[in-house]
Amino acid sequence: MVAAAVILHRTRLPVRIDDSKRLSPRQRARAFDVILRHAEVGVGIVPAETIDARNILQATFLAMRQAVADLPSAPARVLVDGNAAPPSTVGWEPIVGGDATCYVISCASIVAKVVRDRLMEFYHDLNPEYGFDRHKGYGTALHAGRLQLHGPSLWHRHSFEPVKYAAAAGPGG
């Protein structure tokens, strides 16, 4: 789980900013570099075992709090993509569809996606048999096939139903 927080120093950046899912990997990488030059950025990363122990919502909230705490300066308020925000003393404002409708949330979604994808490429270097460099951990047919063939890795969320199933079946199952 990766979350990012961004405080922009400009109202608009000289690059296309949009929901990270609407940008190509190349567009995201370019936007990521520009955002890092023109904003304060904080990142929160929560590992799979914490997600398994706490649940996805609580892990998401933890990553959000980490990202805000990682900012060089404290924000007056925090805009959050989604319908809920973690309990906090800072004013947190959830915005449903915020990654597609709010410029600064779009910036944060780009940062989080690029960091996550680079993390998945690092995991690929450690365990190339899973093909993390290609599916980035998403539930593709390739990922399901590799999971079935090799069983879960340390990087998998063991509480996630397809991973639970693969773990129970064992490698090659």
Instruction: Please provide the average confidence, as pLDDT, over all residues in the chain.
Output: 93
Paired tokens of 28: 């995201």
33-42, 81-90, 102-111: lowest mean pLDDT where? 81-90
Does 98 score more than 90 pLDDT?
yes
H or E segment at 146? Answer: helix 141-150
CB atoms within 10 A of CB 149: 13
- Measured CA to CA, the distance from residue 118 to residue 134 in angstroms comes to 11
Residue 33 and residue 77 in contact, taking contact as beta carbons nearer than 8 Å? no
pLDDT confidence band for 154 (50 / 70 / 90): confident
pLDDT reading at 89 higher than 90: no
Cα–Cα distance for residue pair 171/136, rounded to 1 Å: 20
**Residue recorded with tokens 């693969």:** 166
In terms of DSSP bridges, do strands 39-45 and 2-8 run parallel, antiparallel, or are they unpaired? Answer: antiparallel
Please give the distance of CA 96 from its chain centroid, rounded to a whole number.
Answer: 17
For 168, the token pair is 């129970």
pLDDT confidence bin for 173, thresholds 50/70/90:
low
Strands 77-81 vs 91-95: parallel, antiparallel or unpaired: parallel
Q: Is 54 helix (H, G, I), strand (E, B) or coil?
A: helix
- Counting other chains too, the contacts that 21-25 makes at CB distance below 8 Å and 24 or more residues apart are 21/99, 21/109, 21/113, 22/100, 23/110, 25/117
Q: Return the percentage of the chain with pLDDT > 90, whole number.
A: 80
Close Cβ partners of 141 (under 8 Å, ≥ 6 residues apart): none
For residue 120, the model assigns a pLDDT of 95
**How do residues 18-61 score in pLDDT, each as one tens digit?**
999 999 999 999 999 999 999 999 999 999 999 999 999 999 99
Q: Tell me the pTM.
A: 0.92
